[in-house]
Amino acid sequence: MFSSLFSMRGGSYSVVIFFLTTLGLLISALPVAVVTLMSFSAAETAAFPPAEFSFRWYEALWSQLSADESSSAHSLGDALFTSLLVAAIVMLVSTFVCVPLAYALVRGGGRVRAGMELLFTLPLVFPLVILGIAFLLIAESLALDLGIWRLVIPHVALVLPFVLRNCMSAMNGIDIEIEEAAISLGASWMRAFLDVVVPLMKPGILAGLIFALIISFNEFTITFFMYTIDVSTLPIWMYSRTVSSLDPAVLSLSVGIILVDVIMILIIDKIIAGRASLF
Amino acid sequence: MNAHRSSLRSFALSLPAIIAIAPFLGACFYIFRFSVSGESGVISGYSLQAYFDLAEPFFLRSVWVTVKLAALSTLVVLILSVPIALVIASVRTALVRRLLTVTILLPMILNLLIQSYGWIILLGPSGVLNTTLRETGLISRPILLLFNETGVLLGLIQTAIPLAVFPILSATRVISREYLEAASSLGAGNWRVFYDVILPLLKPGLVSAASIVFAYNASAFAVPLLLGGRRVQMLGVAIRDMISPLFNWSGAAAAGMVLIVITTGVLLLAAALINRSARTPKPSEVSEPLQSGGGA
């Protein structure tokens, strides 16, 4: 099962590699595992390990979700709805702008391409706190009433590097002969682009869409600065619920989010398997 | 199709994306402009006062804590990530590889709140570790592992592992089986092969991983906020405090510029290092270091 890089011939080397790998995996996985286990606890408090198991926190979560929306300004249902709406708009906008750009960059090439790629990588390395503060300062000092776009605009900037990279790696695999063939058969350029190129880019587009969904749905830092009472997302709701003590109902919500994220990553991994790197 | 028309089309196709990224560029410019503003609440006039005001013990300590924790976490993350990358690179079974990838990737993608809940349950004052230790009588009062620098360090390490594993993993592609077989057939032991063959070949990946992890952790916000309590004032949290209770906007902008200089400085340095080593022979041409048992 193991090949050359990690020899199984025994000795201190293998022991150390095995130990460090196990430690790294434990650090990565332990919090998620504990949260999942705790969410099935039957106890009132978050004492671990749970003595008995039940679905009571899932029921509590469900009743919070289906309960009166109007009673509090900051309800779970509203936060979930806003989160999904923001993520959906972010997915649409980022894909809509990245598909033509990926085409232009791959077909255009040259020095412009390198510069543009660098420009669209910037949001990846720029400190999120600073972005959050900068967007807040702009929105406050210009007194803009943006509604849900308060969150959509920064989220789009955040996901652009991922979406563009996936679209470009899909675009790289499409031969120019294919669209030339379409054009020589009488199709307009637009027709060739929409009916030939875009369908071929589908795996890259899909991976980009999922990246946009995951990142926007889990975003905390920028949203923490930009949220208002009317426009607030699920992570902010969770933060406000647990800032003083741990509410086990939030743990059952967490398990839902973990599940969604794992499935999304598995889908991406399947789509881009071997053809592109995740970063 | 003439060249003029095609470049016009390229521009038209790029325009939507440029509009989408414009607010980000505007935000970058705005934070710089605010940091040199003459007043602390609005943009008016020019002054470097906000930068001079940063030269006080509280902010300098915050810079020190940030650099210290970022550097420490980078070191630990590299030590953990190299073995993980080597193991993932060696796994042949697609399912195992996929399982490992998800386990590694999850901490970065999942929102940090969920992970901090996990750490609180495990290591908090009434968490698993403390309860167990107290019941066995090893300690009489809980050890504080969270809401101090230890907790923040742990969180930084956890969230940054994927950032290091994937660049190192792609660097392992240049290590071919022949190098390792050649080295061990010449009598090199496992450790010798690791130090003299694997590590030098991984160097570009290691440098880029280290710089990314450092930059990412130096600008961490959610981890120190959730696992540090109010006691660990990393720059991200300190900057937020300038905004939220203090309303010192130009001060926050100036502090932000300091953070950007630190992170981009490290990233540029790493890029320069990688460029320099790229000018030396490509891995595919490296054969002498193996035979001479040398290396970097």
Q: What is the pLDDT of residue A273?
A: 63
**What CA–CA distances, in Å, run from B27 to A195, B236, B296?**
37, 17, 42
Cis peptide leading into B245, omega within 30 of 0?
no
Assign residue B137 a region: left if phi > 0, alpha if psi is -120 to 50, beta otherwise?
left
The ipTM, to two decimals, is: 0.83
A13/B190 Cβ within 8 A: yes
Q: What is the pLDDT of residue B117?
A: 86
A37, A126, A129, A167, best to mutate vs chain B, most B CBs in 10 Å? A129
Which residues fall within 8 angstroms of residue B18, CB to CB, at 6 or more apart? none
Residues of chain B with pLDDT under 50: 282-296
A269/B98 Cβ within 8 A: yes
Q: What are phi and psi of A102, to 5 degrees?
A: -60, -40
A157/B191 Cβ within 8 A: no
Q: Within 10 Å of residue B271's Cβ, how many Cβ atoms? A: 13
Q: What is the pLDDT of residue A47?
A: 65
Q: Which residues of B touch A233 (CB under 8 A)?
A: none
Only one residue has tokens 């009062």, namely: B141
B166: contact with A, CB 8 A cutoff? yes
SS3 at position A15: helix
Which residues, in sequence order, are bridge partners of residue A53?
A41
* Dist CA A257 CA A218 (whole Å): 9
Partner A, chain B 224-263, Cβ-Cβ below 8 Å = 235-236, 239-240, 243, 249, 252-253, 256, 259-260, 263
* Dist CA A234 CA A100 (whole Å): 32
Residue A138 structure tokens: 């702009």
Q: Which residues of B touch A17 (CB under 8 A)?
A: 83, 86-87
Report pLDDT digits (tens) over B198-244: 888 888 889 989 998 999 999 999 899 888 877 788 999 998 888 87
* Dist CA B93 CA B99 (whole Å): 10
Partner A, chain B 176-235, Cβ-Cβ below 8 Å = 177, 180-181, 189-191, 194, 198, 212, 215, 218-219, 221-222, 235
By the 8 A CB rule, do B37 and B254 touch?
no
A266: contact with B, CB 8 A cutoff? yes
Chain A with chain B: Cβ pairs closer than 8 A: 289
Nearest CA in chain A to B209: A279
By the 8 A CB rule, do A57 and A36 touch?
no
A107: contact with B, CB 8 A cutoff? yes
Q: Which residues of B touch A129 (CB under 8 A)?
A: 219, 221, 235-236, 239-240, 256, 259
A103/B13 Cβ within 8 A: yes
SS3 at position A41: strand
Q: What is the pLDDT of residue A157?
A: 94
**What CA–CA distances, in Å, run from A268 to A100, A144, A164, A258, B194?**
21, 37, 15, 15, 32
* Dist CA B239 CA B255 (whole Å): 6
The pTM of this model reads 0.84
Q: What is the pLDDT of residue A69?
A: 55
Residue B96 structure tokens: 């195992």
Nearest CA in chain A to B250: A137
Identity of the residue numbered B215: A
Only one residue has tokens 């540090």, namely: B228
Residues of chain A with pLDDT under 70: 1-10, 44-48, 67-74, 109, 273-279
Nearest-CB residue to A101 (from B13, B252, B264): B13
**What CA–CA distances, in Å, run from A113 to A102, A207, B1, B150?**
10, 22, 20, 44
Partner B, chain A 5-44, Cβ-Cβ below 8 Å = 5-7, 9, 11-14, 16-18, 20-21, 23-25, 27-35, 38
Residue A179 structure tokens: 């669209």
SS3 at position A264: helix
User: What is the Cβ-side half-sphere exposure of residue A62, based on CA atoms within 13 angstroms?
Assistant: 5
Burial of B187 (0-12, 13-18, 19+ CB in 10 A): exposed
Report pLDDT digits (tens) over A122-166: 888 788 888 998 898 888 878 777 889 999 999 999 999 989 988
Residue A128 structure tokens: 């999120």
* Dist CA A152 CA A172 (whole Å): 29
* Dist CA B239 CA A115 (whole Å): 31
CA distance, residue B191 to nearest chain A CA (Å) = 6
By the 8 A CB rule, do B221 and A129 touch?
yes
Q: Within 10 Å of residue B21's Cβ, how many Cβ atoms? A: 22
* Dist CA A75 CA A72 (whole Å): 6
